[in-house]
Amino acid sequence: MNLVLIGYRGTGKSTVGRMLASRLKRRLISTDAEIVRRAGESIPDIVKRVGWDGFRDLESKVLHELSEQDNLIIDTGGGAILRPENAEALRRGGRLFWLTATVDTIRRRIRADTQRPSLTGTKSFLEEITEVLAEREPKYRAAAHEIVPTDDRTAPDIAQAILERFQAAGY
């Protein structure tokens, strides 16, 4: 059974994923890092070359391949659950933990991130977070087995909470 972290960027998936991988002695795969590795270029460059749909195609391929493996910690990109077939594949072989945070927390955490291009191209930074998060929340909720708020919590505390829930579910 894989342990899968989903949620908007800036909710702590990468940091918490590293801690969980260390504690559980499992391999951590960041889907964004795997896409970059395979494409040989950054996410902004991929999106510039093939658009968001092309990026999502690459993401789907990676997610489906990872969902067929076992005992991984999978740190997904924020839009991984936009395609229902991705969420279904991840749920078949994993337990999905949705890391949540408020718009203000996300804004503070990602304001210096230059590795992700704008998702809307027309909104202010704050408007984009608010709009995209509102659009994705029902999809995260539908995909998740567990919801883990991350506001005002340390990464070790979040990792411990996930570990306890994962083990309580029998994994």
pLDDT score, position 125 = 78
| Range 100-124 burial, b when 16+ CB lie within 10 A, else e | bbebebbbebbeeeeebeebeeeee
How large is the average pLDDT for residues 118-127?
A: 69
List C-alpha distances in Å: 144 to 7, 31, 67, 87.
9, 17, 15, 9
Residue 117's pLDDT is what?
55
DSSP 37-84: HHHTS-HHHHHHHHHHHHHHHHHHHHHHHHHTS-SEEEE--TTTTSSH
Cα 51 to chain center, whole Å? 19
Confidence of residue 145 (pLDDT cuts 50, 70, 90): very high
- Least confident range from 32-41, 54-63, 88-97, 113-122: namely 113-122
Whether the per-residue pLDDT at 122 is higher than 70: the answer is no
Q: What is the pLDDT of residues 85-106, one digit of tens each?
A: 999 999 999 999 999 999 999 9
Predicted confidence at residue 98, as pLDDT, reads 98
Residue 110 confidence (pLDDT)? 84
- Range name among 17-21, 117-121, 145-149 with the lowest pLDDT average: 117-121
Which domains does the chain show, CATH number per domain? 2-165 (3.40.50.300)
- Condensed to tens digits (0 to 9), the pLDDT of residues 9-53 reads 999 999 999 999 999 999 999 999 999 999 999 999 999 999 999
pLDDT at 121: 61
